[in-house]
Structure 1
Amino acid sequence: MENLTKDRGECQSSSNKKIKQSYTFEVHDFHFTQTIGNNDKEKKLIPPMFVKHLGKWLGDISTLRRPSGHQWRVHICTDRDGTFFSNGWETFYKDNCLDIGQVVFYTYVGGMHFDVKIFNKDGREKMWDSNFIQNSNEESDHDNPSTPDLE
């Protein structure tokens, strides 16, 4: 597994000291994981090594599919800060009740389609409550994710 650590630049603390911020992604073949952070509600950075790995096959629209079969169309945008899941990511984020510290495991299956699994902070996979179906937009059909009570 290849680790990629990228310097996010410097910021100043309230005491005017410069603080370096960094993030780590793990990329292995056509899989990668990401931890949900504070600034991930509207867009999510795609690991640069994964973008490089896809090269000319990087498309403008991706599909994120949960094990339940429910899927979301999410646009890909590139700016000076990198390549991101953008338009549609916020719906995916909200529909899956993502929270800081949860981990999203992506498996690239080709044609900009990803199978995704979401894991809670305790390491348990986030499951779906198939009894509750919500249609939040015309492009996809969404369920309400939940973690089963194992007690």
Structure 2
Amino acid sequence: MSTSDEIDEFLEEIESELERKWLEYYEANRVWIVASGLYKVDSYSDKKFSISREFILGVITALEPRLTKLLPYLVKVNADRDTLISKLGLNLDPESMLVQRELEILRSKQAEVVPLLPESTEQNSNSDPDTEYLNQIRQDMNSQHPPS
């Protein structure tokens, strides 16, 4: 197996981990990243967003120390930062990804909604709910104050 194949295999192994770490970092630091202008929405280009590729590489190297030794080689082989970011699986819009994740969380919470009223254990189609309620009140009152 060649060095290039080993690197590709390593990158495939950690790609989802890199994405998760980058999104967690971005989410935790979102306010200052946007305020500083590192995240920009480009309405005039094909891309909807842009973040400095060097910034992403710096952050991900700090978050994934195994890349520290590998990154100089990757930069030498792939001088184009966009290609390198793509190879690392980080060519994504973090804002869109976070919105998508929040929607998925809301959907799963909606699916877990529990009905407020318990279902009746007795299913008597001839019974009237109002009559049953009044009978229950009478029964409760009689048990608290039995006739003398």
Q: Point out the structure with max Rg over C-alpha.
A: 2
Question: What TM-score comes out, normalization by structure 2 length?
Answer: 0.21
When you count strand as a share of all residues, which structure comes out higher? 1
Higher helix share: 2
Normalised TM-score (structure 1)? 0.21
